[in-house]
Amino acid sequence: MRITIVGCGYVGTALARHWRHDPQVRLTVTCTREERRSQLAPLAERVEVLRAGDGPALRLALQDAEVAVFCLAPTGDRLVSADAYGATYRDSFSALAALVDELPNLRQIVYTGSCSVYGDAGGGWVDESTPAAPRDDHGRVLLESEELLGRCRAPGRRVCVLRLGAIYGPGRELGERFRPLAGSTRPGDGRQHSSWIHRDDVVGAIAAAVNGGWDGLVNLVDDEPLPVADLLDRVLAAGALEPVRWHPAAATGTKPADRRVSNRRLHQLGHRLRHPRVQVPLLKRIDQTLFDALASQSREAPRGRCNHNLHQESDLVQRFLNVLQPGTYVRPHRHQREQPGTGFECFLVLQGAVGLLVLDAAGAVISRQRLEAGGALRGVELAEGQVHTLVALEPDTVLFELKQGPYIPSADKDFLSQFPAEGTPAAEAQERCWRALFEEEENADP
């Protein structure tokens, strides 16, 4: 089977990978930038660089094709004008309609369109029989593109329009998409429904459409149209992030379109989704954004440090980030628990540098270690009962710490009583003395 994929972006490239190892498929792919030719070359017999609105170039790409799959998307910024939509979709299908009769081998066209052509249904259900009613110029361009494709249908030539929900998947995870919204206040109530589809299900449905000879409209969305507010709650909670707050009184302008898109026909065709519902992995990200936020908190904290727990206090394993600023005082202590061997503590420096001092029971320093992100020594594990303290050697130092749980505040640390309590002038002086040990070492002549 000779197939041409017109547009090898996010979906088209994944589709090419899907067909790459199928011995029954001879694949041609297109892209719009010359620099992508070498990236796509391993995926297809032929790579053509073209704009789909260029009739002669499009004819060349489709000249031997039995199936054409159009996975078009505008280039440039995420928010593009209706004119850019027109150049991508309307111009492409105008060119195809003008030359399709010159392609006698072409027996099927598959196009990845959009559910946005349905417009608003007041929260009700829509399916393929629902009249399209786009609410903006972008949607009207997409509907016009479908109409142009319809002109390409003929005896012996099928046209299948897959109306897609919003696409997510590898590289476009929902957590990444919605993370910037954490803790924000949004106008409205977020009750409008949203439709989503995983990229791998888009690929699977296109392959099924080709193999099964699908024709006409098919909604390609998952089984659960979620209200936007519910989806955001799930995603942000899974990442242990602050929820979005909604402000109905602040809503202005046109109310967001609210529709629940049915995928009944998809099921009637016998197709089953790999991702029938949005599944949100429970991930707590440890990244620079988190480091920066915690560093800001630690600079404002009276102690010059702050913790960010990844655990619950009842968990059997405590894991947390400890962010320290130079000048913070950690009173020497040891960890001892009822069960022998469980009082260990593990430190790993993720950013900056810290000085670790190991002391004997009398408070004398018996070892000092510089732990540094990217340095020769980045972390240590201390045995149970080992007295120690830490000094921050660089601003915004971030430690990952691991120790046995559950956390019992009254029994977590056994402090050496001969050292001053936190928040006293003596504690400040002691911290300066300890930090000086590492400064002298760093400034010593080689």
pLDDT, one tens digit per residue, over 220-232 is 999 999 999 999 9
Mean pLDDT along residues 122-131: 96
CA 177/CA 174 separation, integer angstroms: 5
Alpha helices (runs of H) in 213-311, residue ranges in sequence order: 228-238, 264-268, 288-300
**Predicted local distance difference test score (pLDDT) of residue 155:** 95
CA 193/CA 259 separation, integer angstroms: 6
Nearest to 354 by CA among 444, 437, 412: 437
The pTM of the full predicted model, rounded to 2 decimals, is 0.78
**Predicted local distance difference test score (pLDDT) of residue 15:** 97
* Residue 341 clears pLDDT 70, i.e. is over it: no
Q: Which amino acid is at 180?
A: P
Mean pLDDT along residues 192-202: 97
| Residue 352 zone, left/alpha/beta (φ > 0; ψ -120 to 50; rest) | left
The band of 366, judged by pLDDT with boundaries at 50, 70 and 90, is: very high
- Range in 79-83, 147-151, 243-247, 255-259 with the lowest mean pLDDT: 79-83
Q: What is the C-alpha R_g of the chain? A: 30
CA 413/CA 409 separation, integer angstroms: 8
* Residue 77 clears pLDDT 50, i.e. is over it: no
Mean pLDDT along residues 309-323: 90
The band of 335, judged by pLDDT with boundaries at 50, 70 and 90, is: confident
CA 419/CA 429 separation, integer angstroms: 11
**Predicted local distance difference test score (pLDDT) of residue 70:** 97
Q: Tell me: the pLDDT tens digits for 260-293? A: 999 999 999 999 999 999 988 888 889 998 999 9
* Residue 190 clears pLDDT 50, i.e. is over it: yes
Q: Tell me: the pLDDT tens digits for 107-124? A: 999 999 999 999 999 999
Mean pLDDT along residues 291-308: 94
* Residue 443 clears pLDDT 70, i.e. is over it: no
Q: Which domains are seen in the chain, by residue range?
A: 2-268 (3.40.50.720), 288-443 (2.60.120.10)
The band of 410, judged by pLDDT with boundaries at 50, 70 and 90, is: low
**Residue whose structure tokens are 């004119």:** 83
Residue 232: CB atoms within 10 A of its CB come to 23
- Range in 254-263, 355-364, 400-409 with the lowest mean pLDDT: 400-409
